[in-house]
Structures are given as structure tokens and as C-alpha cells.
Amino acid sequence: MAGNRAWWIPAVTAGSIGVVAALWMALAASGAPVADLEPSGSGPPRVPVVFVPGVTGVELRDSESAKTLWGRGGDLFFPRDRGYNIARAIEAGPSRSRVEAGDVILQLRLVGVVRKPVYRPLVDLLEASGYRLGDLDDPLPEDSLFLFGYDWRQSNVESAHQLLERLEQMRLARGETRLAVVLVCQSNGAHLCRYLARYGAATLEQADAGGSEVPASLDIQKVILMGASNGGSLRILRELDRGRQYVRWVGRRWAPEAFFGYESLYQDLPAHTDDLFVDDEGQAVAVDLYEAAAWKKYEWSVFAPDVESRLTKNRRPDLFGDVKAREAFLARTLRDAKLFQRLLRKDSGGTTARRYYLIFNDFNETPARALLVREEGEWQTYFLGDEALDRFPSLFDRLTATGDGHATLESQQWLSRPERDLLSPKVMNVEGKHFGMIHSPEAQRYLLEILSDRLQEESSPTP
């Protein structure tokens, strides 16, 4: 059971990898600063760039009415439905297929006239540098910049497969035998791009058996990781357990069960360490985060009494099934998430990408562990930011680490040996928080240096 199960949790968890953080960033209404460096060469850029955003960074729409369910400024406040309208059903069926991905969110409009940039500054930066924005669903040979809109609630394995299909469409449209491409991956986008580069369209089972479904017709020249929680984030557990409120005090409230079916979130649970929990004396508490029994024991997410009561009173079997179905879904999803992270971190095998680049941040206090205590016969879980932790000031150093506010530095740097062997020695540490990195002038300059092949590196990658 989570202590202080409140709805006012600041919106700096996984969703800050999307539109919410952009809403409240200290950006001018006209947009973020744009670096003044342009790619070298006289003509338009030759190698197309595909940008893959993070969780919440893509619109969600009703597949029947085409109504936008997520991606407008007003969606931060309404409807007051506990987030059920974008909940993902735990079983395949009409309720799951009702919601589909729309466009990548470029900006939010509030109160009709106030606009806040989300990914617009990045697009403006690249267009000003000679890139031509195209459509992955209808690519033209002359297009050189694409935005991958995907359902960020589904498994990253499924999203990687869909991106691979779009890249094949692009290759055919360009009439090329082999498509060269650069992947710019932000936050959760790093998970699916890393999987694509190593395993392509392979299922988890196929990849675990040593298979790789990356076509020979694809040449991934560069993978640029921006704000990537490569080893996962403890904030994800808090979000799955607590739900969230996007705008403090007045915003729309999401219940924990609304996130329960988001398979991508489980794939961003911490995998880089099992040292995730301490008791009130700061001693380590062994908990297997990938075992459903632990979620039941500590009453996380749908196993919390208040959530169970709500699901009993307001039954939505089309979304959440019954108790048995929820337990089976969690066990299966945790198993797959653990395998997903193990495959990403696998040191044997290789990667089809030629080069990796990393933009990270270690300027912020970041959750590293949570506190587990028994109070009045019940387990309570306290996360960084909970008022209850004021009673345990001596534990602060045990609960925090340096990072970007979402992922610790260790997590951001948690790559497999094949990826590390191809990692540029010139990495970029920028100030700001998890989502804010993408708006940093230093990060923008670094990105353009990479794309224009002007980056001065100290050594060459291992062949």
C-alpha cells in the first residue's frame, strides 16, 4: 500500500517525458532557443532523420470518431474520468482498438491563444538547418525529417515493429536498395529504438532464442539517445502505484488503474539494479519488482484497497477485467518487461546501428530507492517527495542519486557492451530536467554537430 496516496503528486514522472513538462517549462511562448549551427554541405541533407518521442508525446484519438483524446491543452484538465478514456484494456478487443495513435505533439494550446512548445522547437531547428518535414505514412523521396507517431501505451516491441514497417515504406518511396537513416530517440523512444537496432521485428521469444529480424535493407547510421532512462526509473513504480495529477491542485486526475494496462511503463521499471528499497533504518529490503506477488504484498496499483473497492463498485471489465485477469496480466507483463530489459542489456550478439550518441543529465536529485515501512499493521511505500519522508531525514542520501529527475545517471548510462563499443566518446551532459534536455541549446548544437558530421571525437568506434 502506498503511503500518502494523494492526487497532488507533481507531474515530473514518466509523463514528463511528454507534454506536461513542456507546459510548465520556462520557455518563451514563441519557442525555445535554437542553436545557430547549420549542417555542412550545399544541398538538402542526404540521410533522413526519424524522431521518436517519449510517453505522452503523441496524440491519442478515438478510432471511430477521430476525436482527440490526448494531445490538447484542455486534456490536462478534462474530462474528469480518472483517465479512463485513454486507459488501455488489459485484453485485446474493441475497448483496446478504440484508441489509436495520432500525430506527434508539436505544441499545446491553452485558453485558445496561449501556446507552449513541446516538440516544435526541435522541428524548427532541423527545418532551419535544411531538413524537409515529411509524413511516415506517405513519404516522398525529397523528405528528410520524419516524426514517428505511435501508441506509447503499448509494448515497445510492438512499436519497434511498426517503426520498421514505416522505414520500409520510406525505402520503397525513395527507390533505394538500402535505406540509410538516423534515429533521434527521446526518453521512451530510446527503448524502442535500441530494441529495433538489435532485434528489429523479432518478438521477445524470437530475440531470446537468438533471432534478429533487422532487414539487410536498413542501414541505421546513428542512434542518438536524448534523456533516455536506459536502465529504467523508480518514478514509473510511483506512477503505476499512485496515478497522477498533471496540473497540481486544479488538473485532471488519473487513477492508478488508468495506467495499469500501459505495457510500455513496465518496460521502464528499474532494471539496472535490484537495490531499490530500504527500511526505516536505511537497510536494504529485498523485493523482486518483477514478481506480481510483491505487488500484491505491498498493495501497489490495482491491489491497493481503495483501487480494488473502486473497481468493484464501478466495474469496467472491458478495460480492467476481473481480479484473476488483472493478476494474470500483471504476471505476464512483468515477465515480458524483465525479458525486454535483459535483451537490451545483453552483452553477446551485436547491433545493426553504426554509432550511438548520448545526451544525459546528472544535475538533479533523482529517486534511487523507496522506503518500505509497516505502520498500523499495513505496508506503506514512500517515494521521494512524500511529506511522510520528513520523519526520516537521515534516509535522504539513501533515497536519492544524481540524475535528470526521472532516471539516475547509472540508468542513463546503462547500455549493453555492443552499444558501449559503438558509443561516441564525446557524450553531452546538459543542465535541465528529463524532458527539458531536448530544448537545451547545448543539446541542440550537439545534435546538429552529429547530423552534420562535424562532431570532433577523440577516438573511432570499435569495428
User: Model confidence over 210-234: pLDDT tens digits?
Assistant: 999 999 999 999 999 999 999 999 9
Domain membership flag for residue 381:
yes
Specify if 260 maps to a domain.
Answer: yes
Establish if 460 belongs to a structural domain: no
| Structural domains in the chain (count) | 1
What mean pLDDT, rounded, does the chain reach? 90
pLDDT of residue 318: 94
Assigned domain for 1 exists: no
Could you say which DSSP state residue 193 is in? H
Choice between 460 and 447, residue whose per-residue pLDDT is larger:
447
Gap between the Cα atoms of 253 and 238, Å rounded: 15
Q: How far apart are CA 194 and CA 335, in angstroms?
A: 19
Residue 17 predicted with pLDDT over 50: no
C-alpha 437/C-alpha 442 separation (Å) is 9
> Can you tell me whether residue 247 is helix, strand or coil?
coil
Residue 271 lies in a domain: yes
| Percent above pLDDT 90 for the chain | 81
Question: Residue 267 and residue 253: Cα distance in Å, rounded?
Answer: 23
pTM above 0.75, yes or no: yes
Are the CB atoms for 405 and 365 separated by under 8 Å?
yes
Residue (of 152, 53, 65, 144) closest to 106 by Cα position? 53
pLDDT at residue 456 in the model: 81
Q: Do 86 and 60 contact (CB within 8 A), yes or no?
A: yes
Structural domain that includes position 107: 14-451
- Binned at pLDDT 50, 70 and 90, residue 422 comes out as very high
413 lies in some domain: yes
- Residue 183: which of 447, 2, 377 has the closest Cα? 447
Give a three-class secondary structure readout of 33-95.
CCCCCCCCCCCCCCCCEEEECCCCCEEEEECCCCCEEECCHHHHCCCCCCCHHHCCCCCCCHH
- pLDDT top residue among 221 and 314: 221
Tell whether 4 is covered by a domain. no
End-to-end CA distance of the chain: 50
Q: What is the pLDDT of residues 263-298, one digit of tens each?
A: 999 999 999 999 999 999 999 999 999 999 999 999
pLDDT band at 314 (very low <50, low <70, confident <90, very high): confident
CA distance 283 to 26: 39
Average pLDDT over residues 44-69: 93
182 falls within a domain: yes
CA neighbor of 264 nearest in space, from 95, 429, 52: 52
Q: Are 144 and 44 in contact (CB under 8 A)?
A: yes
